[in-house]
Amino acid sequence: MTISGVWAPALTPFDATLEADLPRWIAHCRFLLEDGCSGLAIFGTTSEANSLSVGERERMLEALLAAGVDPLRLLPGTGCAALPDTVRLTRLAVRAGCAGVLVLPPFFYKNLSDEALFQSYAAVIDRVSDPRLRVFLYHIPQFSGVPIPLRVIERLRTSYGQIVAGIKDSSGDWNNTRTVLEAVPDFQVFVGSERFLLQNLRRGGAGCITATANLNARAIDALYQRWNSPQAQSLQDALDVVRGIFDALPIIPALKRALALARNDPGWLPLRPPLLPLDGAQEAKLLSALSAQGWVQAAARNVASTPA
């Protein structure tokens, strides 16, 4: 089994006391699965997963499954700084039947050798010890501080075959993505921004796992569906305009602000420290850019046309 398409690292809403707001989160997850997302990379960077305890992530995943969401449409982020935490979350996801897990390298110690990084992933795989496990490596060095070099990917594939199923490349470095696509056969390569979606699909990539799918999934999926059509480049260009709005701002607060606007729901505004809401100037910049694109209105229409 392989996965592909547009996956959203679903935003995590917090209530006024900064506790995870499960009903609002579950409703958002359901909305995204109706709105063009092939699946949900819950507990991604955009989800503020690293601001959630392991116990919180466990309770959230269990609640989402209890609400009837298909585990085959879930790719939970399970990579923590501490090995036992990563093992615990990964085991839960595998036993729940999730499509796979997105696994950050342990991200506190820096300048890891290839051997250390290999052994870190190997320890997780060996301890979970389940043939159903599908690990997607999470390459996001600008946050983790721990890049995942091609040599380590190749060694993991040699040792574990299809259990090491793919990668999310959030480096923003297309040369790195292309190198992996060319070097690792049958590897499910997701880009971390829809900016690279068309290039990725043309080279045999699987799709994208992208923050803006929280708001713009239908349009991103339209490119995924028609990447081999004459309209592909113009669809890509339109996506880049929306993405550009968010890339020019702190992206997670900006997405939460835009979602609050599109849903007319201030329940999306809170973030957990160290992330903070947009300041006044950032908010003005966001609203101006969204209005200029007529995009707020379109988002509002999408919400209105979706069954509750």
Minimum Å gap between C-beta 142 and its own copies is: 7
Q: Does 275 help bind its own copies (rule: CB under 8 A)?
A: yes
Please give the Cα distance from 299 to 296 (Å, whole number): 5
How many residues line the site for its own copies (CB under 8 A)?
40
* Residue choice 4, 22, 27, 54 for contact with its own copies (CB under 8 A): 54
* Residue choice 27, 56, 178, 240 for contact with its own copies (CB under 8 A): 56
Minimum Å gap between C-beta 277 and its own copies is: 11
Residue 281: strand, helix, or coil: helix
Q: Does 100 help bind its own copies (rule: CB under 8 A)?
A: no
Buried b (16+ CB within 10 A) or exposed e, 27-55: ebbbbbbebbbbbbbbbbbbbbbbbbebe
Q: Does 156 help bind its own copies (rule: CB under 8 A)?
A: no
Q: DSSP class of residue 72?
A: G
Q: DSSP class of residue 20?
A: B
Q: Does 282 help bind its own copies (rule: CB under 8 A)?
A: no
Site string for its own copies, 7-26 (x = CB under 8 A): -----------x--------
Minimum Å gap between C-beta 30 and its own copies is: 26
Please give the Cα distance from 209 to 192 (Å, whole number): 5
**Residues 198 to 257 in contact with its own copies, rule: CB under 8 A:** none
Minimum Å gap between C-beta 197 and its own copies is: 25
Angle at 53 between CA 52 and CA 56, to 5 degrees: 85
Minimum Å gap between C-beta 114 and its own copies is: 11
Q: In sequence order, what are the residues at sequence separation of 6 or more whose Cβ sits closer than 8 angstroms to the Cβ of residue 237? A: none
Minimum Å gap between C-beta 74 and its own copies is: 21
* Residue choice 66, 110, 264, 280 for contact with its own copies (CB under 8 A): 110
Site string for its own copies, 160-189 (x = CB under 8 A): ------------------------------
Site string for its own copies, 113-152 (x = CB under 8 A): x-xxx-xx-xx------------------xxxxx------
Q: Dihedrals φ, ψ of 270, to 5°? A: -65, 145
Minimum Å gap between C-beta 151 and its own copies is: 16
Angle at 259 between CA 254 and CA 263, to 5 degrees: 155
Q: How far is CA 241 from the centre of its chain?
A: 20
Residue 209: strand, helix, or coil: strand
CB-based contact 151:176 (threshold 8 Å)? no
Going along the chain, which residue ranges are E strands?
5-8, 39-40, 101-103, 135-139, 164-169, 188-191, 207-209
Site string for its own copies, 69-98 (x = CB under 8 A): -----------xxxxxx--x----------
Q: Does 53 help bind its own copies (rule: CB under 8 A)?
A: yes
Q: Does 63 help bind its own copies (rule: CB under 8 A)?
A: no
CB-based contact 60:74 (threshold 8 Å)? no
Residue 243: strand, helix, or coil: helix
Residue closer to its own copies by CB (options 122, 238) is 122
Question: Footprint of its own copies on this chain (CB under 8 A)?
Answer: 18, 45, 50-54, 56, 80-85, 88, 105-110, 112-113, 115-117, 119-120, 122-123, 142-146, 272-276
